[in-house]
Structure 1
Amino acid sequence: MEKLTASDGTSIRYISIGHGRPLIFLHGWTANAREWLPFASELADEFQVFCWDARGHGDHQYGEDCDTHISTMAQDLQLLIDKYDLQDVVLVGHSMGALTTWEYIRQFGTERLGGVCIVDQSPKLVTDDSWEHGIYSNFPADKNQQLIQRLSENFAEGVLELVAFGNNVRSRENFERNSRGFQQMREYLQKLPGPMLTACWQSLTAQDYRDIVSAINVPALLIYGDESQFYSQTLANWVATQINDSELHIYENSDHSPQLWHRERFVYDLRRFVTRLSEA
Structure 2
Amino acid sequence: MQSFLADDREALHVAITGDGRPMVLLHGWTATHRDWKPFVSTFGASHRVFRWDARGHGGHPLATGQAPTVERMARDLENLMAHWDLQDAVVIGHSMGALTLWQYLRDFGTKRLSHVVFIDQSPRLLTDEHWSNGIYGDFDSERNASFVSDLEQDFAETVLRLVANGLNERGRRKYIENGTGMQMARERLRALDPAPLIACWKSLTAADYRQVLGRIDVPALLIYGEESNFYTSNTARWVRDAIPGAQMHVYDGVDHAPHLWQAERFLHDVLGFVGAECDESCAMCA
TM range (shorter): over 0.9
Counterpart position of 2:47: 47
Counterpart position of 2:166: 166
Query: Any residues of structure 2 matched to 1:111-130 within 5 Å, and which?
Result: 111-130=111-130
Gaps of 5+ in 2: 277-286
For the pair 1:89 / 2:80, whether they are aligned, the reply is no
Q: Distance in 2 between matches of 1:31 and 1:66?
A: 19
Counterpart position of 2:247: 247
Q: Distance in 2 between matches of 1:208 and 1:32?
A: 24
Q: What one-letter code is carried by the residue in structure 1 that aligns with 2:144?
A: N
Counterpart position of 1:193: 193
Counterpart position of 1:101: 101
8 Å CA contact 1:224–1:251 kept in 2: the answer is: yes
Query: Any residues of structure 2 matched to 1:199-278 within 5 Å, and which?
Result: 199-275=199-275
Instruction: Select between 197-206 and 78-87 the one with higher mean Cα deviation.
Output: 78-87
Counterpart position of 1:28: 28
Q: Distance in 2 between matches of 1:32 and 1:82?
A: 22
Q: CA deviation at 1:84?
A: 1.6
Gaps of 5+ in 1: none
8 Å CA contact 2:8–2:64 kept in 1: the answer is: no
Q: What one-letter code is carried by the residue in structure 2 that aligns with 1:262?
A: Q
* Runs of 4+ that moved beyond 6 A: none
8 Å CA contact 1:43–1:49 kept in 2: the answer is: yes
Q: Distance in 2 between matches of 1:85 and 1:64?
A: 24
Q: What one-letter code is carried by the residue in structure 2 that aligns with 1:136?
A: Y
Number of positions where the alignment pairs a residue of Structure 1 with one of Structure 2 = 277
8 Å CA contact 1:56–1:66 kept in 2: the answer is: no
Counterpart position of 1:154: 154
Q: What one-letter code is carried by the residue in structure 2 that aligns with 1:44?
A: G
Q: What one-letter code is carried by the residue in structure 1 that aligns with 2:57?
A: H
The percent of aligned pairs where both chains have the same amino acid is 47
Q: CA deviation at 1:64?
A: 7.8
Q: CA deviation at 1:63?
A: 3.8
Q: What one-letter code is carried by the residue in structure 2 that aligns with 1:153?
A: Q
Q: Distance in 2 between matches of 1:152 and 1:59?
A: 18
For the pair 1:76 / 2:76, whether they are aligned, the reply is yes
